[in-house]
Every structure is written in C-alpha cells, then in structure tokens.
Amino acid sequence: MTDVYSFSEGPTPLLISIPHDGRLLAPGQAERMTDVAKALPDTDWFVRDLYEFSTAIGANVVAANYSRYVVDLNRSANDAAPYANQISTGLCPTQTFAGEKLYLPGESVSALEQAIRVREYWQPYHDKISDTLDQLTQNHGHALLWDAHSIASEVPRLFPGVLTDINIGTNGSKSCAAACEQAVMVATDNTAYSAVLNGRFQGGYITRHYGKPDKNNHAIQLELSQRCYMDEKRMRYDENSANDVAETIKRMLQAFVASGQKLV
C-alpha cells in the first residue's frame, strides 16, 4: 500500500495539514464506484501545488495521499456531523457534494469496511498530526496548525450563492488565540480577495480537535474558493492566479507565525 500521507519537516512551529488533495483509492474500491465518482469531483484540487512555497517559509507539511472518498480525514472517527442543521458529507462518503451516488447499485460501505478504513487511513494521518504538534510544542513552546482546504465556488447543495474567496475558520474563535485569528484576517486586507471569519466554514474536525489554545496549540482552517486559482469549468490550474493568491496565503501564514511567537 502507498504511504497514507507525505510529510516534510521544517524548522518553525507551523504545521500545514492538507487532508483532501489525495487522489488514490483503496484496493478494490474503484471497481465498485460510478464513473462520476472515479473522477473524484470533490477533491481539493491542486492544494499541494498552491502551497508549494511552504517549505521555503519553514513549515512542516503533512498531506494525504488517499482521496476523501476513502475516508474523510476532516471528520471525527465516530462520524459526528460538524455543523448542525446542514448536510453532512460523511466519514466514508456515499454521495458527491452534488448528491450523486458514489457506488454502483448493490454496493455500499459496510460498518466493518468503514472501521478498517479508519484504522488504515484515518488513524495514521491523525497520529502524525498529534505527534508533530507534540514535538513542535516541546521544541518551540507552542504549535500552530493550519488546515488547508479548497472547494468549488458554487455548490448549491451545501451553501447558497457564490462562496467568499477566503474563508477562515476557528470554531467560533475557540481553536486559537484571538491575536492569531486577528493577525491572519488583517493579512487579507487590501488584497483582491473577499474574506470572512467563521462564516459558512468554521473549521472541521482537525481544527476543532487540535486547536487547544490553553495548551499553546492554535489551529486555523482556510477554505479557499477554487475560482481564486483555477479554471473551475475546465478543471485546470491557473498558474498566474495561483501565484497571486499564494502570496496572500503566505502573508497570512507569516502573520500566524508572528502572532504565535508573541504568545509564548
């Protein structure tokens, strides 16, 4: 089996998590899936490419190699819905964001199969996050977790209208110190992008579980509208647009790191 995740180490207290840009499927899974599903439409497309600068700024980076259609790493292992009164896409999804079936007639994900996926794919990723944060806290006195996501700018089944460009989530200001979220939001000022704090996307399981300001672990999620860096109709990476928004993300991350250092 291919490694569940890729990891690169950096000298700063910043860990960037990229849980949804993986493209691999579990052995035997593709044969049971619809053609729509095998195109992996709900991937956080090209997020690894967008964050290619991360090693240059000293970040630690953990990125999933397997698709969210195997198991959603940003959901709890017990499949608790992250948002009340909203559609939940599930720990082991059976539908696309648009509501199309992932599996052929007669196929499903049993409780046993889900438990195996949690053990073989979900747990190793989360063990790596946990171990890295512990090590960063030991080395630096604090740890900063940035959970990197992207999504289509329009997904009518999940949210109305067109998504804000930059969606910062801190679980209602509970997953990080106020100074951290404020610094990150200020870094979006005077840019070409609209930004919101704790709007439609307030942070999923990763942000909520690992963000523990009282233990000097601060977590922030960025959900980025894919229109900022790609041609959504042709599903193509737009290098010029990507370079522009990457500069803004870099400033946000640098502001996050600077604000964290002031808290120690």
Domains of the chain in sequence order: 5-16+42-63+115-263 (3.40.630.40)
**What is the Cα–Cα distance from 84 to 244, expressed in whole angstroms?**
35
The residue that leads in pLDDT, 159 or 38, is: 38
Distance in angstroms (rounded) separating the CA atoms of residues 77 and 247 = 34
Query: Residue 88's pLDDT band (boundaries 50, 70, 90)?
Result: low
Confidence class for position 2, pLDDT limits 50, 70, 90: confident
Q: Which residues of 39-65 are buried (b: 16+ CB within 10 A; e: fewer)?
A: ebbbbbbbbbebbeebeeeebbbbbbb
- Please list, in sequence order, all residues whose beta carbon lies within 8 angstroms of the beta carbon of residue 215, skipping any fewer than 6 positions away: 137
Model confidence pLDDT, tens digit, residues 235-245: 999 999 999 99
Model pLDDT, residue 51: 98
Read off the pTM.
Answer: 0.95
- Size of the chain in residues: 264
Give the β-pairing of 230-231 and 236-237: antiparallel
Distance between CA atoms of 257 and 176, rounded to whole angstroms? 12
List the Cα angle 118/39/237 in 5-degree steps: 105
Residue 83 has pLDDT above 60, yes or no: no
Pair of tokens at residue 2? 């291919």
Q: How far is CA 117 from CA 5, 68, 192, 244, in A?
A: 14, 11, 40, 37
Tokens of 158: 């999940």
Q: Kindly report the backbone phi and psi dihedral angles of residue 6, in degrees, each rounded to the nearest multiple of 5, phi listed first.
A: -110, 145
- Cα 158-159-164 angle, rounded to 5 deg: 130
What does 73-94 look like in DSSP terms, one character per residue? TTS-TT---SSTTS----SS-S
- Give backbone dihedrals phi and psi of 62, rounded to 5 degrees, phi first: -120, 125
Helix axes 239-263, 178-186, angle to 10 degrees: 150
The model's pLDDT over 185-234, given as tens digits with 9 standing for 90+, comes to 999 999 999 999 999 999 999 999 999 999 999 999 999 999 999 999 99
Q: How far is CA 264 from the centre of its chain?
A: 26
In degrees, rounded to 5, the angle at the alpha carbon of residue 232 between the alpha carbons of residues 187 and 245 is 20
64-79, pLDDT tens digit by residue? 999 999 999 999 999 7
Per-residue pLDDT tens over the stretch 37-46: 999 999 999 9
